Amino acid sequence: MTFSACHLPLRSPATRTVQRPFGDATAQSLLPTPAELDAAWAAAEEAAARLRRRSLASVLEAIAACAEAWTETTAGPLEEALTVLPGGTGFSRPVVQRGLSAMAKALCGDAIGELIDRELGDRARLESHQVKAPTRLTHVMAGNLPGLAFAPIALSLALRAPVLVKAAAGDPYSPAAFARALATIDEDLGEAVLVHDWRGGDGAIEDVAFAADVVVASGSDAAIAVIRRRVPGRFIGHGHKVSFAVVADGRGDDRSVAAALAFDVALWDQHGCLSPQVCFVEEANRGEAERFALAIAGELENVRLALPPRQMDAAEAAAIARFRHSAEWDPGDPRDRLWHADDTAWSVTLEHRPGLRPTCLDRCIRVVPLASADTLSDVLAPHRARLECAGLACAVERCRDWETLLQSAGVHRTCA
- Average of per-residue pLDDT across 26-36: 92
Angle at the Cα of 310 from the Cα atoms of 306 and 311, rounded to 5 degrees = 135
| pLDDT tens for each residue of 366-416 | 999 998 888 999 999 999 999 999 999 999 999 999 999 999 999 999 999
The rounded distance, in Å, linking the Cα atoms of 399 and 70 is: 34
List the beta strands (DSSP E) in 213-311.
Answer: 214-218, 234-238, 242-247, 276-282
What is the percent of the chain with per-residue pLDDT over 70, rounded to a whole number? Answer: 99
- Average of per-residue pLDDT across 347-370: 95
| pLDDT tens for each residue of 262-294 | 999 999 999 999 999 999 999 877 889 999 999
Q: Is the confidence at residue 14, as pLDDT, over 70?
A: no
Q: Is the confidence at residue 329, as pLDDT, over 90?
A: no
pLDDT confidence bin for 327, thresholds 50/70/90: very high
The rounded distance, in Å, linking the Cα atoms of 131 and 153 is: 19
- The identity of residue 378, as a single letter, is D
Beta carbons of 254 and 291 less than 8 angstroms apart: yes
pLDDT confidence bin for 332, thresholds 50/70/90: confident
What pLDDT score was predicted for residue 13? 67
**Nearest residue to 173 via CA among 310, 69, 80, 309:** 80
The rounded distance, in Å, linking the Cα atoms of 292 and 166 is: 42
In degrees to the nearest 10, what's the CA dihedral of 79, 164, 270, 322?
120
pLDDT confidence bin for 65, thresholds 50/70/90: very high
What pLDDT score was predicted for residue 284? 79
Q: Is the confidence at residue 11, as pLDDT, over 80?
A: no
What pLDDT score was predicted for residue 372? 85
Averaged pLDDT score across all residues of the chain? 94
Helix H or strand E segment including 29: strand 25-30
